[in-house]
Amino acid sequence: MKPDVVISEVGPRDGLQSLSVSMATANKKQWIAALAAAGLREIEVGSFVRRDLLPQLADTAEVVVFAKSLPELEVAALVPNLRGARAAIEAGVDKLTVPVSASEAHSLANVRKSRAEMVEEVRAIVALRDELAPDMEVEVGISTAFGCTLQGNVSSAEVLRLAEQLVRAGAQSCGLSDTAGYANPRQVSDLFRSLRSAIGPRAGAAHMHNTRGLGLANCLAALEAGVRTFDGSLGGLGGCPYAPGASGNVVTEDLVYMFEAMGLRTGVDIDKLLEARQVLSASLPDTPLYGMLPEAGLPLGFEERSHV
């Protein structure tokens, strides 16, 4: 059956890019295969950026080819510019994810372009997609939508104006990212409701960080505001090198458990998801992993209750 909520796993990109060590390509493939076997149907497997900037993701093209061989998996990759988009299209991804910051300071630090320049970059990426791969989805993640460690406050009006510009540039969906971990549930609810009013069904995923312990609460607030796609990172890996102090993403294991415990279908098998966590741990033995569910385990009778 179609899931009630979609969990998009971003660990192989967002998680690994935050680490000082690189995971071997063979281990990445094993991890992604384990994630897909657990029922995750959308995985952001890497990023097409210069090798000298993110050597951890230099093998993304090879990883994409492998991920495309897995059945029923939508393979996404982050592309910060037109050059990256061309490489991703050539590799055969299903979805291009473009980061556009609502904070001017973060945009200049992260991609060396202003917000206005990034809107034009999205327009160029969409034109390239139309020419080379018209069925490929172009998704924008509006980063620092709830605040920025470099700029401070980011007004909701700025975020909504940017989202409207990106939709006019051709983005098929615009999600909101709490890059710095500044968001609170009321803010998340209000901004996602406003986003849906501004751009309608093109309002996209919630990408929440757990920097201050509000990741799951913010996802619940987004759910109540109508969001049905949520980014998560296995073991809570992640962060942003251009947002000082930002720490890991919402833990996929905890996110899936929360929704399943509420009676919402995710399509993810939690036992197999925990097996994928073991693959990750074995591949990065010195990297700390996070999450409450892996420590506590499933409550007695959970399986029966979650499928009522």
Residue 307 has pLDDT above 60, yes or no: no
| Residue 225, both tokens | 């505001």
Determine contact, residues 277/289, Cβ cutoff 8 Å.
yes
Please name which of 99, 86, 65 lies closest in space to residue 207, comparing C-alpha atoms: 99
Q: What amino acid positions are annotated as catalytic residues?
A: 240
Rounded to the nearest integer, the mean pLDDT of the chain is 94
Q: Which helix (H) or strand (E) holds 100?
A: strand 95-101
pLDDT per residue over 229-248, tens digit each? Answer: 999 999 999 877 666 666 78
Report the distance separating Cα 257 and Cα 223, nearest Å.
Answer: 14
DSSP secondary structure code for residue 250 in this structure: P
pLDDT tens for each residue of 204-233: 999 999 999 999 999 999 999 999 999 999
Helix residue ranges per DSSP H, 50-181: 60-68, 82-91, 104-111, 115-132, 156-168
Question: What pLDDT does 245 receive?
Answer: 63
User: Is residue 308 scored above 60 in pLDDT?
Assistant: no
**Domain 6-306 belongs to what topology?**
TIM Barrel (3.20.20)
Q: Give 300's Cβ-side CA count (13 Å radius).
A: 0
Q: What is the pLDDT of residues 92-108, one digit of tens each?
A: 999 999 999 999 999 99
Residue 251 DSSP code: B
Q: What is the pLDDT of residues 17-69, one digit of tens each?
A: 989 899 999 999 999 999 999 999 999 999 999 998 899 999 999 999 999 99
Per-residue pLDDT, 188 = 98
- Core vs surface per residue 3-16: b (16+ CB within 10 A) or e: bebbbbbbbbbbbb
Average pLDDT over residues 153-169: 97
pTM beyond 0.75: yes
- What is the phi-psi region of residue 9: left when phi exceeds 0, alpha when psi lies from -120 to 50, beta otherwise? beta
Q: Tell me, what's the pLDDT at 110? A: 85
State the amino acid at position 81 in one-letter form. Answer: N
Kind of pairing between the strands at 74-78 and 42-47 = parallel
Tens-place pLDDT, residues 171-196: 999 999 999 899 999 999 999 999 99
Per the CB < 8 A criterion, the answer to whether 250 and 233 are in contact is yes
- For 135, 139, 251, 271, 307, the CA distances from 238, given in Å and listed in that order, are 30, 20, 10, 23, 31
When pLDDT is averaged across residues 251-264 and rounded to a whole number, the result is 97
Query: Residues 268-305: pLDDT tens digits?
Result: 999 999 999 999 999 999 999 999 999 999 999 887 44
The domains of the chain are located at 6-306
Overall size of the chain counted in residues = 308
